[in-house]
Structure 1
């Protein structure tokens, strides 16, 4: 067993133009004052990190890490969720996802994909330079528009889709392997990797690449009505990152899993601040600890009701309360005795 590290906070949803959310220094002070011990850094945020420079310069990474450590914080992981999304984009989503790319890559899907691949590869090098061995990202999606198909999917479409997705990711995965870093895909609606079956399809398509792993976020499974507890039993060996985010699902006679194109606050399934949803975090932390998952518990705020400031304030003590200090002894050790083979034989009647 292994004690989960934390609490930590993913900074992506807190970035803004007003202090303390507009610079690395002020965010570090804000986070540590709230009780966080780590920060997860979104690499598309140039106010937090220069990804290209971090990929090239160990000196820059040492300085960045030193600055963060000076506040009593650690970098838990880097994130390339936005860049990873752009590794695989179906043309139906081109216009909306163009916002994630620099202006010189917009209206040019091929150039955008090449840029995204180079960015994620740079994250592998930057992670190594920062002394990190895991990284969080999205897989992107070529098949998502066929998730609930009409007309029916043609034979071979799914196999071709995952073959192409793996083809795009394999050079990236190999770069991560060269740098000793695992890629943790956030299993998420909208991605081709959105449940257990699709994770297995991708893993197989990559030839069971050893760097293919999971960022576990139970909130996405609540919205899919997937058993998020049993998921840990199936995939614990792959879970190397953990987003602590709450959610709830309350179906009505008008709306269910697909949401009716409504705003988040009106959907049957919606993300909530920690403790305000339905997720059984007590069992989740127990399972992850029991299986020895070496993860940081990182709060991700995406509540449709509560403010991010209140969510962050409540998040650190919530996580701290759920972290289990893994025991190093059995509760009945006191009743044990030295091994005596003759005694054992008598007990067995042999």
Structure 2
């Protein structure tokens, strides 16, 4: 077994235009000062990272890694959540997702989609140049507007949507295979890959591709009322990234899973800072140790109530306290008698 790595922190929710959050050096100093050992970098944020340069230049990657190492940090993964979303966008969401793209491709869905695919290709090469094992992204969605079967869906609609999703992602997965990097889709409402069933539908259509894997975030399962511990029992071999994020679900007589179009603070299901929600992290970290998870425990901070800097400050010790340093020997080794085939035969009466 391996001890999970951490604590790490996803920088996307903290990057901004004010110091120390407006540069990689500044935000790295801040994260290291809180006790983090790794950073997950949003590849779209030019204030922190140049994805094209990382794809084309090993020297650029070595410089980034060196600057982080001076602060006791490493890169856990790169993220293309925004670009991955744009690989598959239903027209109902064109206007909302257009801001995820570079300015020069906005307003043109076909060009925007090609740009997103190019971005994933850059991310595969950049991850290889940085020596990373996994990459975090979203799948995008073509079927999500139809997740509730009313009005009745036409026969074959979902199947056709997943066929097209797989057609778009298969060459991207091949690019990640060429670069020796696992692609981890965050299993997330709003994405066509939002639970185990939908992941299986996709995986079947990409031929069980070895690079088609998952980012596990239990908070999204709490809001869906999905068993997040059983999920690890079923899919642990495909889990390559881990967002440590808390959530709570408290239904009422007025609102449930769908939330009544309310703001986050008023919804029955809402994200919380670590330790403030209902997620059983002791059980999750135990399963991660049991299943030999090879990656990082990375804080993704999202909370309807708490200030992000307080959430970040509390997150590093919370994760560190939950990491299980796995044992190197069985607890009953002291009583071991060694291998004795003759004794075994006597004990069985043979």
- Say whether the fold is shared (TM-score over 0.5): yes
Q: Distance in 2 between matches of 1:292 and 1:84?
A: 27
How far does the alpha carbon of each residue in 1:55-109 deviate from its partner, in whole angstroms, 9 at most, with x for none?
A: 1111111111111111110000000000000000000000100011122211110
1:198-246 Cα deviation digits (max 9, x unpaired): 0000000111111000100000000000000000000000011000000
User: Offset of 1:32 from its aligned partner?
Assistant: 0.7
Alpha-carbon offset, residue 149 of structure 1: 2.3
Distance 1:264 1:301 in 2: 14
1:142 matches 2:146: no
CA-to-aligned-CA distance 1:156-180 (integer Å, 9 cap, x gap): 1111111100110111111111000
Bigger CA drift: 64-73 or 274-283? 64-73
Does structure 1 residue 324 correspond to structure 2 residue 324? Answer: yes
The CA distance in 2 between the partners of 1:18 and 1:316, in whole Å, is: 22
The answer for the alignment partner of 1:290 in structure 2 is 290
Q: Distance in 2 between matches of 1:267 and 1:285?
A: 27
TM-score under structure 2 length normalisation:
0.99
Q: Distance in 2 between matches of 1:120 and 1:65?
A: 21
Q: State how far apart, in whole Å, the 2-side matches of 1:107 and 1:135 are.
A: 28
- SS of the equivalent of 1:270 reads strand
Question: Does structure 1 residue 220 correspond to structure 2 residue 223?
Answer: no
Question: Residue 274 of structure 1 aligns with which residue?
Answer: 274
State the SS of the aligned residue for 2:312. Answer: helix
Q: What are the within-5 Å matches in structure 2 for residues 34-183 of structure 1?
A: 34-183=34-183
- Give the Cα–Cα distance (whole angstroms) in 2 for the partners of residues 29 and 340 of structure 1: 57
Number of residues paired by the alignment?
350
What stretches of structure 1 of length at least 5 have no aligned partner? none
Does 151-160 or 249-258 show the bigger shift?
151-160
Q: Could you list the structure 1 runs, at least 4 aligned residues long, displaced by more than 2 angstroms after superposition.
A: none
Deviation at 1:37, TM superposition (A): 0.3
Quote the residue 1:17 is aligned against: 17
For 1:150 and 1:95, how far apart are their aligned partners in 2? 24
For residues 272-317 of structure 1, the C-alpha deviation after alignment (integer angstroms, 9 at most, x for no partner) is 0000000000000000110101110000000010000000000000
